[in-house]
Amino acid sequence: MDALPSLVLAAALAVGLAVPMLGWAVLVRPSAAANAARANLARGLGPDPAGGRAARTRAPLGARLVRALTPRGTFTRIDRLLVGAGRPAAWPLGRVVAAKLVLAAAAGTLAVLVVGAKPQPLFVVAMALTTVVSYFVPELLLSSRGQERRDAIGRELADTLDQMTIAVEAGLGFESALARAGRNGTGPLAEELVRTLQDIGVGQPRREAYLALAERTGVDDLRRFIRAVVQADAYGVSIADVLRTQAQEMRLKRRQRAEEKAMQIPVKVIFPLILCILPTLFIVLLGPTAVDMMTNM
């Protein structure tokens, strides 16, 4: 008889604890910032076509066919190109690999039809080259986009470091200055800064997050800046002094790159001048003289 009230009391206590927990699980939702961070960190990370055995068994037939027809080293190479291009959300790894095969198949089919209609050696070589180039078109596009992204980051780096220097000298911490530069910026460098702060927010160590930033972008100037920040954090150097020195160095390098490109302009103008302008000029100036000489003869 004494055990019955104890059992009822335990049941009431369990219900009393379960109801608030159930309400918390139903009503509480992740914040907008958490959802944005999760979406940004998972951007461009579709299902891995080169996954493990469990992933291979769950993959649809099309994904298994793509994996069977593609060398494993291709996945690593394309993933590296996607990282350099900023992992476009519309082009995950599996879609890029599938696009390579589809383009190659379409070009191969066209090559068979053309060569079957005109079986000449020139057409055979041209169609073979077209098929090979079609297979590598997605990688070429990703490489071009990655190069443009690296150039944009290199151009934005000096101004971003100036903003961070002003913020740190005004009293903000390094991460707060990093967040401010990421919010105020609009280019790929601002996106990478926001991504780095989100990596830190989900638990990645600061040093690893900074080094991952340098590895993702592949920009030498940014890599040197990250190395200087990591060393300053390790040895207790003032981060404001590091930012000021790095900002001055980046401005100097940007000016030197602009001067270098200006020096290259005369050399680049020579070839259009020789091939396009000078022949036309000779025709206009010497043409009437040549016609008169032919008439007099």
Residues 69 and 99 in one domain: yes
At which of 146, 164, 197 does a domain end? 146
> Which tokens sit at 255?
């000016």
Residues 248 and 155 in one domain: yes
Residue identified by tokens 């593609």 is 70
111 is a domain residue: yes
pLDDT at position 145, please? 92
Residues 241 and 156 in one domain: yes
State the CATH number of the domain containing residue 177: 1.20.81
Q: Which residues contact 89 (CB under 8 A, 6 or more apart)?
A: 43, 44
pLDDT at position 149, please? 92
Residues 218 and 128 in one domain: no
121 is a domain residue: yes
Residues 224 and 165 in one domain: yes
268 is a domain residue: no
33 is a domain residue: no
40 is a domain residue: no
Residues 158 and 116 in one domain: no
Residues 200 and 126 in one domain: no
214 is a domain residue: yes
Residues 162 and 128 in one domain: no
Low-confidence ranges of the chain (pLDDT < 70): 1-69, 297
98 is a domain residue: yes
> Cα separation of 291 and 297, whole Å?
10
Query: SS3 string of the chain?
Result: CCHHHHHHHHHHHHHHHHHHHHHHHHHCCCCHHHHHHHHHHCCCCCCCCCCCHHHHHHCCHHHHHHHHHCCHHHHHHHHHHHHHCCCCCCCCHHHHHHHHHHHHHHHHHHHHHHHHHCCCHHHHHHHHHHHHHHHHHHHHHHHHHHHHHHHHHHHHHHHHHHHHHHHHHCCCCHHHHHHHHHHHCCCHHHHHHHHHHHHHHCCCCHHHHHHHHHHHHCCHHHHHHHHHHHHHHHHCCCHHHHHHHHHHHHHHHHHHHHHHHHHHHHHHHHHHHHHHHHHHHHHHHHHHHHHHHHHHC
138 is a domain residue: yes
Structurally, the chain folds into a number of domains equal to 2
pLDDT at position 23, please? 57
At which of 124, 146, 168 does a domain end? 146
pLDDT at position 35, please? 57
Residues 249 and 232 in one domain: yes
Provide the domain limits for residue 123.
Answer: 53-146
